[in-house]
Chain A
Amino acid sequence: MNKRFLSLWFRHLLTDRIVLKRPELKDVPFVIAASICNRIVITATNSLAESHGIYREMALADARAIVPDLEVIEHIQDNDEKLLTALGEWCIRYSPQVAVNLPDSLVLDISGCAHLWGGERKYLKEIVNRLISKGYDVRGAIADTVGAAWAVAHFGKIKPIIEAGGQESALLSLHPVALRLDSAILERLQKLGFYSVRNFISISRSALRRRFGKDFLLRLDQALGNEEEPLELIQPIEPYAERLPSLEPINTRTGIEIAIKKLLKNLCKRLVSEGKGIRIAVLKCYRVDGKVIQISIGCNRPSTHVGHLFKLFELKIELIKPQLGIELFTLEAPKVEDTSMEQELLWLSEGCGLEDASLGVLLDTLANKIGADKIHRYLPEERYWPEQSIKLASSLGDKPQTSWCKNKLRPSLLLPKPERIEVSSLLPDNPPMLFVYKGVRHVVKKADDAERIERSWWEDKGLHRDYYVIEDEEGRRYWIFRSGHYTDEQSDWYLHGFFA
């Protein structure tokens, strides 16, 4: 069967997208610019800027000279590919085979699709109109080959649909640029006076190869249909979701449990085959009376273990109130991650680390019941200020960047907020002789020398602290500090921790 291709050219792909997001830019000339080799270069323009004579690859300074109040938007790397892929996924409704043709076009293999829309003319009109109504400036063309469709979409002046076998005559009047050639070859063609395809199409192939190389002939053959052109098709990712309709409305706990297990089993089977694991799963229960109840679970590590995931759901089953009954269950996994292959242990080590699988299972259970914000793990931080000397670990795999400080004595218990104490001391820089904490008088028997801890001056200004380790007459050990220097009128003393 004869193949037919549709090429869609988005003339202002990136700028149209920005106008969709920011409608106030619709009637303003603006450009997208990126800094390349110390120069700010325009990478895309809208039609208004083009009408002022601004073109791509122009330096931004030159463009500003033409239009002083030119709006400039920063270029985002690979944005065009993302956008084209999204548009391509949308186009799958017209043809199952869609490919992205960077930088600004899409190619659809429409063999056997057009008649569903009542012919190629109506088909093309439908696609182009739909895209234009969305706000994209698009041109389309249909031909037997990708090359010809691309050429006509970009440079065609007469008609957008080239009938079967007519690509050669359609190409004749076009500039060689329509053949998607390298700039070096184009320059040579220009120099030799080949201003249209007609000029060289009758020259013998061996002469053309000698002068312009193999790539030139390949492009020509692809446009004429003598050579196949492979397409890299867009493969849309199927969402990770499972459905389970029930014959009779379900309103018992056992029924819900069976449903969850079935859904998990099917979903996990697919995930295992793709090497992925669930991080977040959402269960939706569609009730007979039209209400939807939703419960969700999260895991610390990607998991495909049905038993474990079921246990996490089990904690929340009581939140589902079936009332008259549930007629449909759906299970989605909005967040999946690659799982690392689990290697079987050769030797079972006696110790058990943070990587232990059962620990992950336990923490998932706890996080789902009491909340993940209630679970903490601390890593050392290179700071002396006691409250700042630890930081929260973000995940189980987080390794400490530095080692714990060992040469400075730190208390076992630290009060969340230092508590004020009354002291009497003999000499200015000596530890106190006695202190009163919560109404009880403690006589200091032994004490270590002061350890001065300064604040991080670049962050907050405040008084330093002079810490003392002291022991009272009963052997209880405390960590107290004086805020700031010793002064006659008032020195503030605080109790901050208890030693073992």
Chain B
Amino acid sequence: MGQLNTKKDIINKLQQDIMLLQGYKSVSGCTAKKVGLGVIESAFPNAVFPTGAIHEFLNTEPENAAAGSGFIAGILKTLMLQGGVCLWIGTSRQLFPPGLTAFNVAAERVIFIDAKEEKQVLWVMEQALKCEGLAAVIAEVREVNIIQSRRLQLAIEGSGVTGFLLRNDPRKLGANTCVARWKISSLPSALEDGLPGVGSPRWRVDLLRVRNGNPNSWKLEWTAAGFVAVDDKPEIEFAEPLIIGQHA
């Protein structure tokens, strides 16, 4: 038994070392930044939402884009807590600043950049990711290939800014260096006791791919207190597409 334990220990140790080599520093409890995602954070290595990395969000329709930007806004709330500023880059921007207040994001600290074309979006994002004075950079792009994403990752390494790629209607899902691939879709909201009307926003959060973590799926609701898991247990019906998504 002792032998097995040590073997397990060795494997654990090796895994930790690999993660270190890959750039994941193990963070001690007090300095770790929680972004208020609750259960979802356990899917990431060291159970910490990776800031200073690029997250990719897939949207297939405009309604999903709204859900995705809402989810990001929920994360931004924590990232921009101490007066931080974020940059929102896009070619055809529809984000409505007053809509961000529902997620407790100070919309006056969001700077919008309207780029001419996709190439410019990526250039602006790369420049912005090098800037240490930013809390987060969000870019709306359709396609990003492995070389472009690697450039973005390199830009991040000096600054530690968190990047979000909102991929609206992507044509091909190639490999890239993003740390996680998400898909956010709307779920019917529910009010207590079957009251009429529209309730708090509710999403199905699919973490399709995550480096060194466990892809999974959750149901989340945004309330005044932040993200709340509607159902702690991931539903079995979503388990199947998850695995496919992981290899996609």
Contacts and interface: CB of A to CB of B under 8 A. Distances in A.
B69 interface: yes
B198 A351 contact: no
A374 B113 contact: yes
Interface string A319-331: 0000000000000
Interface in B153-195: 185-189
A475 B108 contact: no
A397 to B, nearest CB: 12
Interface string B66-103: 11011101000000111111000000001111111111
Given A358-B131, A446-B188, A411 B114 contact: no
Q: Is the interface of B mostly helix, strand, loop or mixed?
A: mixed
A204 B73 CA distance: 89
Given A365-B127, A445-B188, A498-B63, A414 B110 contact: no
B124 A370 contact: yes
A340 to B, nearest CB: 17
A400 B124 CA distance: 26
B161 to A, nearest CB: 10
B135 A412 contact: no
B85 A359 contact: yes
A474 B70 CA distance: 17
Interface in B111-147: 111-116, 120, 123-124, 127-128, 130-135
B2 interface: no
Interface in B182-216: 185-189, 196-199, 201-203
A445 B198 CA distance: 9
Interface string A352-369: 111011110111011001
B94 A375 contact: no
Contacts of B134: 352, 359, 362
Nearest to B123: A369
A471 B199 CA distance: 9
B53 interface: no
A240 B80 CA distance: 40
B69 A380 contact: no
Interface residues of A, number: 59
A351 B84 CA distance: 5
Interface stretch (A172-180, A265-273, A282-290, A401-409): A401-409
Mostly, the A contact residues are mixed
B222 interface: yes
A158 interface: no
Interface centre among B69, B95, B97 (most CB of A within 10 A): B97
A352 B109 CA distance: 11
B191 to A, nearest CB: 8
Given A359-B85, A361-B131, A500-B70, A414 B112 contact: no
A413 B69 contact: yes
Nearest to A475: B188
Given A353-B84, A416-B94, A475-B187, A410 B99 contact: yes
A291 to B, nearest CB: 30
Contacts of B186: 474-477, 500
A495 to B, nearest CB: 10
B65 A378 contact: no
Contacts of B47: none
B66 A412 contact: yes
Nearest to B187: A475
Most buried by B among A350, A361, A469, A500: A500
Contact of A414 (B96, B114, B120, B131): B96
Contacts of B228: none
B107 interface: yes
B71 A500 contact: yes
Contacts of A378: 97, 107-108, 110, 112
A352 B202 contact: no
Contact of B115 (A370, A390, A447): A370
Contacts of A374: 113-116
A194 B70 CA distance: 90
B62 interface: yes
B128 A404 contact: no
Contact of A409 (B73, B81, B102, B185): B102
Interface string A363-392: 101100110001111111000001001100
A448 B191 CA distance: 12
A24 B213 CA distance: 83
Nearest to A468: B198
Given A351-B82, A469-B198, A413 B188 contact: no
A370 B116 CA distance: 8
B201 to A, nearest CB: 5
A413 B198 contact: no
Contacts of A470: 198
B41 to A, nearest CB: 20
B112 A500 contact: no
B212 to A, nearest CB: 26
A351 B133 CA distance: 8
25 contacts: A352-B85, A354-B83, A363-B111, A374-B114, A374-B116, A378-B107, A380-B107, A404-B98, A412-B73, A413-B65, A413-B69, A413-B96, A445-B188, A469-B198, A475-B185, A477-B66, A477-B189, A477-B198, A477-B201, A498-B63, A499-B70, A499-B99, A500-B73, A500-B186, A500-B222
Given A475-B186, A476-B63, 5 more contacts: A352-B134, A412-B95, A475-B202, A498-B65, A500-B69
Interface of B: 62-63, 65-67, 69-71, 73, 80-85, 94-103, 106-116, 120, 123-124, 127-128, 130-135, 185-189, 196-199, 201-203, 222
Cβ-closest 3 pairs across A and B: A500-B70, A351-B82, A356-B133
Interface of A: 349-354, 356-359, 361-363, 365-366, 369-370, 374-380, 386, 389-390, 393, 399-400, 404-406, 409-416, 445-449, 469-471, 473-478, 497-500
